[in-house]
């Protein structure tokens, strides 16, 4: 493994992550030095645009564009913030844990470079509370980086000062939504905020704020060192999207796991070559391309490139890029019921369609699963898919919840219909 083919993971060591000296001996903090000595902040942002780096948290928003919306220059607010969204909790996703536990200095370096690009005064790594080991390792990396002058007042003797903190959360899925994350970081209930204003203009404590996912940020130092063209080349022409991607598979496959691969490899390559295919006795029924809030795809979609546009064209979203494989021992109703139980429990309760609609969908799905569904239940579920869809709710939680439900109905309608009890058994009073 080298920096040239697997930049994100070549320095990952889960047992004993590199300390400062070890990390520095493998190009560590070279990007901070280069950025501060050779590049203007806007040039760093320009590099992200040239690289076509897109967000790895699920939405795929161009990172350079996000950063370029932050007010810069002498008139900009004195305090600006960069936040790492390390609240990894999308069911089926297990990539950021590896990056933080296995290469904590890489994320610290990335935060410093991102902070420099938008001239932030402070950074926060918003880490989910359960990631205890990651917290310990990141805190230690921050202490080491501080002692070496990469953090604190006048970073590497420059006029720019930057502080970095780990903020360990206390649970719930909703802080993964960026405006809910900001409320949570401010010490409030994690309700989402209305947009606009976007966080880049008015985010944390009303100041310009950039929120990026762990994996997205970890690409940043490599782009600064090797350039946008190099980064575009990493996907080897497999996709318009550039760089590598952490792809993974969970479910009843032979070798579940996580791999750094060129952006845009096919789902079949990931599933069959890397994960070894299905376990004996299990067949592939359907799969989620990138977390609980993505639409199911079918076995016939396996030859699609795992990139943002291709998976979107097939009617789903690449999301986090980690496949959850559903085997044929499961009824689709049980899987969707499990997914909607999750979304119902994790609804923050702020807006009505989500708070009331999701538990309703769970009740209907549980009834169908028992074979006790009523005529009209399927239509009610379809109606809920519309009422909870994009534009009807405050944030993306409910629309995300709808994705696996609507696609399950699309591909497995017969299973839903089979759950409706025949009316003949009704007793006459």
Partner 1 sequence: MSTAPTNQPYALHAEDFMAIEEEMGHYADPRAASIGALKIVQKRHGWVPDAAIPAIGRMLGISAADVEGVATFYNLIYRRPVGRYVIKVCDSVACFLTGYEEIGAELRKQLGVGLGETTADGRFTLLPICCLGACDRGPVLMINDETHFGVAPPDIAGLLEQYP
Binding mask 308-327 for partner 1 (x = CB under 8 A): --------------x-xxxx
d(CA 318, CA 308): 5
Angstrom CA distances, 204 to 21, 81, 124, stand at 33, 7, 10
Q: Considering only residues 112, 117, 249, 286, which one is a binding residue for partner 1 as defined by CB under 8 A?
A: 249
Q: Which residue has the tokens 């169908």?
A: 368
Between 205 and 244, how does the x/- string for binding to partner 1 read (CB under 8 A)? x---------------------------------------
How many CA atoms, within 13 angstroms, populate the side-chain half-sphere of residue 354?
25
Q: For residue 253, give the DSSP letter.
A: B
Rounded to a whole number of angstroms, the minimum distance from the CB of residue 95 to partner 1 is 8
Selected from 34, 146, 330, 392, the binder of partner 1 by CB under 8 A is 330
Q: How many residues bind partner 1 (CB under 8 A)?
A: 57
Taking contact as CB under 8 A, which single stretch among the options 171-179, 219-227, 385-393, 416-424 is the one that binds partner 1?
171-179
Show contacts with partner 1 in window 111-130 (CB under 8 A). 128-130
Residue 407, Cα to own-chain centre: how many angstroms?
21
Does residue number 328 form part of the binding site for partner 1 (CB under 8 A)?
no
Rank residues 39 and 185 by Cβ distance to partner 1 and give the closer one: 185
CB 58 within 8 A of CB 317: yes
For residues 22-81, which are near partner 1 according to CB under 8 A?
A: 79
Q: Which two tokens stand for residue 283?
A: 């067949």
Nearer to partner 1, 231 or 412 (CB): 412
User: Which of residues 52 and 213 has its CB atom nearest to partner 1 in the complex?
Assistant: 213
Residue 254 as a binder of partner 1 (CB under 8 A): the answer is: no
| Selected range binding partner 1 among 50-58, 59-67, 339-347, 383-391, rule: CB under 8 A | 339-347
Q: For the CA atoms of the chain, what is the radius of gyration? A: 23
Binding segment for partner 1 (CB under 8 A), chosen from 32-40, 154-162, 168-176, 378-386, is 168-176
Sign (positive/negative) of CA torsion 180, 183, 184, 188?
Answer: negative
In the complex, minimum distance from the CB of residue 293 to partner 1, in angstroms, rounded to a whole number = 11
CB atoms within 10 A of CB 422: 8
Residue 1 has a CB neighbour count (10 Å cut-off) of 11
The alpha carbon of 327 is separated from its chain's Cα centroid by a whole number of angstroms, namely 24
At its nearest, how many Å lie between partner 1 and the CB of residue 399?
18
Q: How far is the CB of 215 from partner 1 (least distance, A)?
A: 12
Per CB under 8 A, 177 contacts partner 1: no
By CB under 8 A, residue 257 contacts partner 1:
yes
Stretch that binds partner 1, among 94-102, 263-271, 368-376, 394-402 (CB under 8 A): 94-102
- For residue 425, count other CB atoms closer than 10 A to its CB: 6
Beta-sheet pairing, 244-251 with 257-262: antiparallel
89 binds partner 1 (CB under 8 A): yes
Alpha helices in 314-373 (DSSP H): 332-346, 352-369
Taking the CA atoms of 336, 339, 341 and 343 in sequence, report the sign of the dihedral they define. Answer: negative
Single out the residue of 47, 48, 63, 88 in contact with partner 1 (rule: CB under 8 A). Answer: 88
Q: How far apart are CA 80 and CA 101, in angstroms?
A: 27
Quick one: 242 exposed, middle or buried, by C-beta within 10 A (0-12, 13-18, 19+)? buried
Please give the residue ranges that form the binding site for partner 1 (CB under 8 A).
Answer: 79, 88-94, 96-97, 128-132, 165, 167-173, 184-190, 204-205, 248-252, 256-258, 288, 292, 322, 324-327, 330, 334-335, 338-339, 341-342, 345-346, 348
């Amino acid at each position: 493994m080298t920096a040239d083919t697997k930049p994100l993971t070549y320095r990952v060591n889960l047992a004993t992550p590199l300390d400062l000296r070890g990390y520095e001996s493998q190009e560590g903090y070279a990007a901070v030095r280069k950025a501060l000595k050779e590049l203007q902040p806007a040039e760093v942002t320009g590099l992200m645009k040239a690289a076509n780096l897109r967000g790895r948290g699920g939405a795929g928003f161009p990172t350079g564009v996000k950063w370029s919306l932050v007010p810069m220059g002498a008139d900009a607010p004195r305090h600006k913030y960069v936040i790492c969204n390390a609240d990894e909790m999308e069911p089926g996703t297990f990539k950021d844990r590896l990056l933080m536990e296995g290469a904590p200095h890489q994320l610290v370096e990335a935060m410093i470079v991102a902070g420099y690009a938008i001239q932030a005064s402070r950074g926060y790594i918003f880490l989910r509370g359960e990631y205890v080991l990651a917290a310990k390792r990141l805190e230690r990396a921050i202490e080491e980086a501080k002692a070496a002058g990469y953090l604190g007042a006048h970073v590497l003797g420059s006029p720019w000062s930057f502080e970095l903190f780990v903020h360990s959360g206390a649970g719930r899925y909703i802080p993964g939504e960026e405006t809910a994350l900001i409320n949570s970081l401010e010490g409030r209930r994690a309700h989402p905020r209305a947009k606009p204003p976007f966080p880049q203009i008015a985010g944390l404590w009303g100041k310009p704020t950039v929120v990026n996912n762990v994996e997205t940020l970890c690409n940043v130092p490599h782009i600064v060192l090797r350039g946008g063209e190099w980064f575009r080349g990493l996907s080897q022409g497999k996709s318009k999207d550039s760089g590598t991607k952490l792809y993974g598979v969970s479910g009843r496959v032979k070798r579940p796991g996580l791999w750094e691969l060129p952006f845009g490899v096919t789902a079949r390559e990931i599933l069959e070559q890397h994960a070894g295919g299905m376990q004996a006795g299990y067949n592939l029924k359907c799969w989620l391309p990138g977390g609980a809030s993505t639409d199911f795809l079918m076995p016939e979609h396996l030859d699609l490139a795992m990139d943002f546009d291709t998976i979107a064209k097939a009617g789903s979203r690449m999301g986090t890029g980690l496949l959850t494989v559903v085997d044929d021992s499961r009824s689709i109703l049980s899987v969707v019921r499990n997914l909607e139980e999750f979304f119902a429990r994790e609804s923050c309760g702020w807006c009505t369609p989500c708070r009331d609609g999701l538990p309703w969908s769970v009740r209907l799905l549980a009834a169908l699963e028992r074979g006790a569904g009523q005529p009209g239940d399927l239509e009610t579920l379809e109606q809920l898919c519309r009422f909870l869809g994009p534009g009807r709710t405050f944030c993306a939680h409910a629309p995300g919840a709808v994705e696996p439900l609507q696609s399950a109905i699309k591909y497995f309608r017969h299973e839903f219909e089979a759950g409706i009890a025949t009316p003949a058994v009704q007793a006459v009073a």
